[in-house]
Chains A and B, each alone.
Chain A
Amino acid sequence: MKTYKYLFLLIGLSIIGCSDLEEEPVGLLAPESFFTSVDDIQTAVNGSYGHMMHRYFVSREMSMPLMLRSDMVDLNPNGQGAERVQFNDVNLLADNASIEQYWPKIYQIIGAANEAIAGAKLVDADDAIKNPIVAQAHFARAFAYFHLVRQFGDVPYLDEPVTDLQAASTVTRTPAEEVYANIIADLEFAEEWLPNTQKARSIPAKSAAQSYLALVYLTRGEFQQAYNYAKEVIDNEGTYNLGLDPDFQNLYNENEDASLEPIFVIDFIGMTASDDSDQGMNYQGPYTGIRNDDQYGLGGGWSVEIPSMAVYDTWDDRDYRKEVSFDDTAVFDGVEVSYEHFTDVSVGGYANGVDRPHIAKYNRRNGNLYAGGNGRGSEQNYMMMRYAEVLLIAAEALNEVSPGSAEAHGYVNRIRERARNGGVANNFTSSTFPEDVSGLSQDDFRTMVLEERRIELAFEFKRWYDIARRKLGSEVFSASGLEGEKPTFDANRDYLFPIPVNEIVRNPNLTQNPGY
């Protein structure tokens, strides 16, 4: 009996657990305890950059709408999703799927920046040591809000980590003016603390802050300020280690990390996350590439975003930048085929493609070991700001404050000269086009510089913002526009996108933009 009693006791008592039920997570990070060193601030800023690498931000849900919305990129008319058609036709609905995906992602960039800025306060280090890192977060936050304010106007503005869900969930839209003031304040902080150079262009340096300040002021029509900041960058070209790349094609190479021209890029390295393959996946290659095309060994693109014929036809053939920007031939089954036959199935084309030249900037030189899968594995970075744009900002702004200056003409001519010099693309040696400009009136110069931006920065997500800030809609969407008439364009509605309808349901204090 005793044996059994022992057994009994053994089973009955020794196995009774007793716990205080406190959770002690392993491998989980709490904001209160995470920030202990300056490196931790950088890790949090890297979170901001990481969110930028997502499909929902730069590689798809931001870039595709901005391109389709402009007059530079048209949509393949054959069987495209409603969210794309709406952007291309200037006919947005408030439940547009791209906007629904983009909206939370850009706020996650901001959330990560806010976390880094707040976390830095917990780190015991001199401002001189930590502020250069914190400044990156201010830059990232300004970068994100600058996109938001241009797309949506007034937006919810949060500048610290959310701890009170209820309060944060009921905010109203902050007026665009105030958002701009905050963007400028963030960029000024970044300008003050960021170093002259960084180890890579995917980390903002002082030049990035100043360039964005220039673009922000340009967008607001405060041309003197825009000019001043652009000039600051140009004057420090050497200090900031900047310059125009001698060959325009080099900007769209997988190894453009070495170029001096980029000022701020979003880095892609051909890898994706195991729990979310859209984190790090590069989509502009497939969307702009030619379906069935073998020429880059990528398995062909998807023939979705295709410029109208007018964009190609009106672009002077002598312009080297046209060579770099377009693919007018493809290779089907080993045979080179001109764009007129892209849909010819008898030569291996794709019936539901489009017989037009396709964008080459995202495919031609992204060819690396892993760039297959239609180019989704491309390591090509996304150019957010490059030195050529700074020159064009300086030129445009200066023309507004003191028209007719040789200086303004000179900035444009630097860019034109580079174009004339040609480069490796299609063995384009050199050209007499585009000629230097001189002696233009203020109006002519303004028209010229906007055109120069359209050409030089083609397919780099800049054009729609130019149309919106210069209110060119009724002109570019008229019958004489590059894509023909877009009858649904409404100037009172269409310079802003709709706030996602589900977000207004979640926070009824948010209002909708007019007309949606």
Chain B
Amino acid sequence: MKNKVKLVSAFFLTCLFLTTAVVNAQERSITGKVTSSDDGMPLPGVNISVKGSTIGTSTDFDGLYSIDVPSDDAVLVYSFIGFLSQEVPVGTQTEINVILQADQNELDEVVVVGYGSQRKSDITGAVSSVKSDELNAFPVANAEQALQGRAAGVVVQSNNGGEPGAPISIKIRGNTSINASSAPLIVVDGFVGAAMPQANDIESMEILKDASATAIYGSRGSNGVVMVTTKKGKSGRLAIEVNSNYSIQNTADKLDLLNADEFAAYQQSINSGYVQGSADTDWQDLLYKSGNTQNHQFSFSGGSDKINFYASTNYFKQDGVIINSEYEKISFLSNIDAQVTDKLKLGLNLTGSRADKDGVPTQSTGSNGVNGGGDDVVSLMFRFMPDLGIYDDNGNYTTNTIGDNIDNPYAIANEAIDETKTDRFRANLYANYDILENLSFKTTFGYSTINETVGYFRPSTLIVTAGGVGGRAGIDNRRSTNVLSENYLTYKTEIGKGNLTLLAGYSYQKTTTERFSTGATGFISDSFSYYNLGGSEVTIIPSSSITEQEIQSQFGRLNYDYDDKYLLTATVRRDGASNFAKNEKYAIFPSAAIGWKISKESFLEDSETISNLKLRASYGVTGNQAINPYESFSKLSTLFSAIDGQVVGAVVPDQAANPDLKWESSYQTNLGLDLGLFNNKISLSLDYYNIDTKDLLLADASQPEYLGFLTLASIRNVGEINNKGFEIGLNTRNISTDNFSWTTDFNWSTNKNEVVSLINGIDVFLDASPGYFSVSRTHVLREGEAAGVFWGYDYQGVYQGGALPAGTATLAGAQAGDPLFSDLDNSGVITTDDQKIIGDPNPDWTMGFTNTFRYKNLDLNIFFQGAYGGDVFNLTNVQLYNGDSNALKDVLNSWTPTNTDTDIPRAVANRGREISSRFVEDGSYLRLKNIALGYNFSEDIVEKLGIDNLRLSVSAQNLLTFTNYSGLDPEVSYFGSGGESSGESNTTQGFDFGNYPTIKSVNFSLNLRF
């Protein structure tokens, strides 16, 4: 019996045990809610997985989840982009509510790279990130503008000062090319070569700077890549957001010019017969006005667990600080992403815009008998005689009576029409399919088009420009379409302690550009603008063309990390581009990079000081194919010709064949260090780079001009250029308490540019002066020097008469009071042999410095930006001291026999616009680019109003500038009138003349979210 009991007991015990065991082993369900530490709102889409298993789920709209765990020992991992992952042991709990902390540690941020994304901590290349709030610190017409000063090694400049709608150029790590574009590749949501979206629509921007990051873009990677990600909808709640900005703007400065009486006295000192005009006009006052900018954005976004969407529309309008210059842009954007099945995800990005730029002529290249610069309102308001009024006695617009014949600037600003209408549309459709658990395929099909019409009109009331010809008008149209197909496989696997990601893909892109241009003169009426070319008497010979370009590529990448300590990235891309010569179309661009997370090693793992330490090294080759199609062909061009009073067909040799035309290649090395101290309160990035660009594509101005081709400088692969530099990025969280925080972002970079070799070592002389200067040299490309150093005579003060001071001379026929220059060849007279390098426009370093303070609901952002050591060539002053125009007040101190102690030569009728060191100035500056004060209304107020968020802010841009530069603004951007005025030139830098002035603005903005 006893035994039986024992047996039964044993049985029961066993059963109990077994039962317990069975109970223990049985899955049970855990439920809960995940919320954000930021605002306490539920977080949808948070990944929840059981550590060490494949079990996983995610939260729904309301942040709720339910997961089956295998045992009480299970550990749940909660992870979500932008938040710190959290691990929670299950124990006996059945309900686990989690508050995820927003990620203060940027290292776990996911950054977008070419064809994928990576944790920041796993990046081996040089990548800078710019966040949405930085891009929207103040309103900008182009998101490019918002990049200025935000990232080390990135130089951003307007191509025409504060002109409404001026194009913005970005250069990453210097001028890696001379002739081919130095503009970076812009990739928007995977669309290669897209236009930049509105700043408000951008979630993040990544700037890929070294070959390890850019070589995946092969032939287009050598200038760096800007990866733009637009905003996407978040599952769960519908958000409606309104952003509204209004700015008041004024010109930053005015030049101190002569008034009518002073001007007349000045002219009489040159020509005693000068008769003073009857007016006293300050042309700057007449043309400058207060401008304004308004920018309104409305967006709504949201989604379910299957579909997310984001849609926005944006309206931007700027009234420039010069009369009659305006810019208006309307754009829309919509992103839809759908999780169609477990394995298939589809998405569509659509964006479109219309921009109208209604400008006044600035940076004019001249035409129709008006020399370059001759109808440029900005330089004319300095040049034009102050003793003339707007109209003469007969009611016609005045033209000047000294110097070249020019219309008055008020007349041009009022009467000249220069309109650019640009329509852009882009659609990008993608599908992502998970073929296997660790193998996915993504395909993208994109289409974009730009249709741009430029119309101009000069009525007959502009006497010099179009008076005698009865008005002149014309239209140029450009339509460019771009088709892109990209397809790639991504495979991820774990090998022991290592993680391996492989990527392989194929890409094809085709760009077709059609243009036509026509015009007429002799209009029946001045009321047609350019809308009735038929109402004219003479047709300007029309032209039209079509070009096609194709690029096809294969690419692959390997990412391997071992034990989260050792990182390896290798990429390769094979590109073929139609632009190049028959046997030079293909090239291969490899790169490799390694990283070592030293802070993960056991000896640093527990360090309280060093929270992150990583070394990076990369080497790779990238290319540049940014030249026009058909450059390798021998070609004839048509030319306007006449015989017997009739137009006849005519062709002329345009360029010789270049069977060797090929890629420009950049060989890039990058060494980097990332350091985080005190739990990453201080994070520092250091990068050193060296870029050798070989087979430079250059419009070869070293080609003799007696060859007889219409194109004087055809594109050739010439020489080599080197850029090396050092970049520092420092972010510190100085103070961080509940009520108060202070963070600092600082970046500093230096770039040294050197022309290493040119064809046969021959100097290439270039000219950036306006056409009417009739000057043939202002800067040079020379081996061993930076690209585009200034070239001219070396000014040595004023000649006092008598014997020449040692080592100096004057131009032939000079007298006392004329300029003295260094006589380099000791010939006793100044000739072209006495010209030398007289300045370098490349800054020694550039920097950006941002401090952000938050106190309760109030925040203050102060952003300084600066550049040091670059020279500016003040072409404006060349004119304003030349004698045949109005002048700076300083001319009152010109040399005279009784005023000999001066640096300003005697007044003469025409100084000959000598290009000399007299006009080279230090262009260093430090600028308070932005100061902004914002207030977020507290939650209880906001809730009463029934909204989610309400923010008001006021900011000011360009409020203060510290500089010794005597001109209007040290950020200059004149490109001469020799056809380079498209604004992008790697060799023409640092010239000041006639560009639209930089503006100061005060801005009010409102942000409202429902």
Known contacts A27-B545, A43-B651, A274-B540; is A372 also within 8 Å of B707 by CB? Answer: no
Residues of A within 8 A of B710 (CB): 108
Please choose the segment from B22-30, B171-179, B635-643, B930-938 that sits at the chain A interface, where 4 or more of its residues have CB less than 8 A away. B635-643
Known contacts A15-B445, A23-B633; is A111 also within 8 Å of B707 by CB? Answer: yes
Is B576 within 8 A of A21, CB to CB?
A: yes
Question: CA A17 – CA B578 in complex, angstroms?
Answer: 14
B367 part of interface (Cβ distance < 8 Å) = yes
Is A274 within 8 A of B541, CB to CB?
A: yes
Residues of B within 8 A of A103 (CB): 705-706
Q: Chain B 525-558, CB within 8 Å of chain A: the 1/0 string?
A: 0000000000001111111111110101000000
Residues of A within 8 A of B544 (CB): 27
Residues of B within 8 A of A98 (CB): 774
Q: Which residue of chain A lies nearest to B344 when distances are taken between CB atoms in the complex?
A: A4
- Measured CB to CB, the closest approach of chain B to A58, in angstroms, equals 13
Is A372 within 8 A of B470, CB to CB?
A: yes
Residues of A within 8 A of B642 (CB): 49-50, 53, 202, 267-269, 271, 280
- Measured CB to CB, the closest approach of chain A to B573, in angstroms, equals 15
Question: CA A274 – CA B520 in complex, angstroms?
Answer: 9
Is A97 within 8 A of B775, CB to CB?
A: yes
Known contacts A53-B642, A79-B883; is A162 also within 8 Å of B633 by CB? Answer: no
Question: CA A417 – CA B190 in complex, angstroms?
Answer: 84
Residues of A within 8 A of B506 (CB): 16
Residues of B within 8 A of A379 (CB): 645
- Measured CB to CB, the closest approach of chain A to B432, in angstroms, equals 10
B135 part of interface (Cβ distance < 8 Å) = no
Is A79 within 8 A of B909, CB to CB?
A: yes
Question: CA A25 – CA B470 in complex, angstroms?
Answer: 38
Residues of A within 8 A of B644 (CB): 199-200, 202-203, 257, 267
Please choose the segment from B49-57, B350-358, B460-468, B610-618 that sits at the chain A interface, where 4 or more of its residues have CB less than 8 A away. B460-468
Question: CA A228 – CA B681 in complex, angstroms?
Answer: 98
Question: CA A319 – CA B705 in complex, angstroms?
Answer: 45
A132 part of interface (Cβ distance < 8 Å) = no
B residues 576-598 in Cβ contact with A at 8 Å:
576-579, 582, 585
- The residue in A50, A82, A370, A507 that gathers the most chain B C-beta atoms within 10 A of its C-beta is A50
Residues of B within 8 A of A260 (CB): none
Q: Which residue of chain A lies nearest to B474 when distances are taken between CB atoms in the complex?
A: A274
A410 part of interface (Cβ distance < 8 Å) = no
Known contacts A108-B652, A370-B521; is A25 also within 8 Å of B547 by CB? Answer: yes
Known contacts A115-B636, A200-B643, A506-B704; is A373 also within 8 Å of B912 by CB? Answer: no
Please choose the segment from B400-408, B948-956, B995-1003 that sits at the chain A interface, where 4 or more of its residues have CB less than 8 A away. B400-408
Q: Chain B 639-667, CB within 8 Å of chain A: the 1/0 string?
A: 11111111111111100111000000000
Question: CA A423 – CA B644 in complex, angstroms?
Answer: 26
Residues of A within 8 A of B658 (CB): 165
Q: Which of B401, B537, B912 contacts A350 (CB 8 A)?
A: B401
Residues of A within 8 A of B647 (CB): 269, 271
Known contacts A16-B485, A158-B707, A298-B468; is A271 also within 8 Å of B640 by CB? Answer: yes
A residues 208-258 in Cβ contact with B at 8 Å:
257
Residues of B within 8 A of A165 (CB): 656, 658, 703, 707
A22 part of interface (Cβ distance < 8 Å) = yes
Known contacts A47-B641, A271-B540; is A21 also within 8 Å of B813 by CB? Answer: no
Known contacts A12-B441, A29-B636, A162-B656; is A107 also within 8 Å of B774 by CB? Answer: no
Is B912 within 8 A of A46, CB to CB?
A: no
Known contacts A169-B703, A506-B762; is A12 also within 8 Å of B443 by CB? Answer: yes
B residues 466-508 in Cβ contact with A at 8 Å:
466-470, 474, 483, 485, 487, 506, 508
Residues of B within 8 A of A351 (CB): 271, 273-275, 401-402
Is B812 within 8 A of A488, CB to CB?
A: yes
Residues of A within 8 A of B243 (CB): none
A272 part of interface (Cβ distance < 8 Å) = yes
Q: Which of B632, B652, B914 contacts A111 (CB 8 A)?
A: B652
Is B633 within 8 A of A156, CB to CB?
A: no
- The residue in B510, B547, B643 that gathers the most chain A C-beta atoms within 10 A of its C-beta is B643
Please choose the segment from A184-192, A461-469, A497-505 that sits at the chain B interface, where 4 or more of its residues have CB less than 8 A away. A497-505
A residues 33-59 in Cβ contact with B at 8 Å:
34, 43-44, 46-51, 53
Q: Which of B344, B468, B545, B708 contacts A112 (CB 8 A)?
A: B708
Residues of B within 8 A of A47 (CB): 639, 641, 650-653
- Measured CB to CB, the closest approach of chain A to B852, in angstroms, equals 44
A413 part of interface (Cβ distance < 8 Å) = no
Question: CA A103 – CA B712 in complex, angstroms?
Answer: 11
Question: CA A161 – CA B710 in complex, angstroms?
Answer: 13
Q: Which of B582, B630, B762, B912 contacts A28 (CB 8 A)?
A: B630
Question: CA A286 – CA B467 in complex, angstroms?
Answer: 13
Q: Which residue of chain B lies nearest to A498 when distances are taken between CB atoms in the complex?
A: B832
Q: Chain A 72-96, CB within 8 Å of chain B: the 1/0 string?
A: 0000011111110100010101110
Is B912 within 8 A of A81, CB to CB?
A: yes
Q: Which of B429, B541, B643, B813 contacts A89 (CB 8 A)?
A: B813
Residues of A within 8 A of B463 (CB): 299
A residues 266-312 in Cβ contact with B at 8 Å:
267-275, 277-281, 283, 286, 291, 298-299, 302
- Measured CB to CB, the closest approach of chain B to A262, in angstroms, equals 12
Residues of A within 8 A of B539 (CB): 271
Residues of B within 8 A of A49 (CB): 641-643, 650
- Measured CB to CB, the closest approach of chain A to B755, in angstroms, equals 15
B868 part of interface (Cβ distance < 8 Å) = no
Is A352 within 8 A of B522, CB to CB?
A: no
Known contacts A31-B634, A47-B639; is A17 also within 8 Å of B706 by CB? Answer: no
Q: Which residue of chain A lies nearest to B577 when distances are taken between CB atoms in the complex?
A: A21
- The residue in B441, B708, B712 that gathers the most chain A C-beta atoms within 10 A of its C-beta is B708
Is B469 within 8 A of A373, CB to CB?
A: yes
Question: CA A274 – CA B763 in complex, angstroms?
Answer: 33
Q: Which of B401, B702, B913 contacts A81 (CB 8 A)?
A: B913
Residues of B within 8 A of A274 (CB): 474, 517-519, 540-543
Is A352 within 8 A of B271, CB to CB?
A: yes
Q: Which residue of chain A lies nearest to B909 when distances are taken between CB atoms in the complex?
A: A79
B residues 408-457 in Cβ contact with A at 8 Å:
429, 431, 433, 441, 443, 445
B709 part of interface (Cβ distance < 8 Å) = yes
Known contacts A104-B706, A169-B703; is A373 also within 8 Å of B643 by CB? Answer: no
Is A507 within 8 A of B652, CB to CB?
A: no
A163 part of interface (Cβ distance < 8 Å) = yes
Residues of A within 8 A of B636 (CB): 29-31, 34, 44, 115
B residues 812-836 in Cβ contact with A at 8 Å:
812-813, 831-832
Question: CA A270 – CA B538 in complex, angstroms?
Answer: 8
Q: Which residue of chain B lies nearest to A78 when distances are taken between CB atoms in the complex?
A: B909
- The residue in B508, B630, B657, B832 that gathers the most chain A C-beta atoms within 10 A of its C-beta is B832
Is B651 within 8 A of A8, CB to CB?
A: no
Is A50 within 8 A of B641, CB to CB?
A: yes
A369 part of interface (Cβ distance < 8 Å) = yes
- The residue in B368, B402, B706 that gathers the most chain A C-beta atoms within 10 A of its C-beta is B706
Residues of B within 8 A of A302 (CB): 405
Residues of A within 8 A of B538 (CB): 270-271, 370, 377
B61 part of interface (Cβ distance < 8 Å) = no
Question: CA A37 – CA B470 in complex, angstroms?
Answer: 41
Known contacts A28-B635, A95-B777; is A79 also within 8 Å of B910 by CB? Answer: yes
A residues 490-516 in Cβ contact with B at 8 Å:
500-503, 505-508, 510, 516
Q: Which of A15, A278, A279, A502 contacts B485 (CB 8 A)?
A: A15
A-B contact pairs, 24 of them (CB 8 A): A4-B344, A8-B344, A17-B510, A18-B508, A18-B552, A24-B548, A27-B545, A29-B636, A78-B271, A78-B884, A81-B772, A97-B774, A97-B776, A107-B707, A155-B706, A161-B708, A163-B634, A200-B643, A269-B646, A274-B474, A351-B402, A373-B368, A373-B369, A505-B765
A-B CB proximity, top 8 nearest: A372-B468, A111-B708, A50-B641, A200-B644, A82-B912, A79-B884, A46-B650, A47-B652
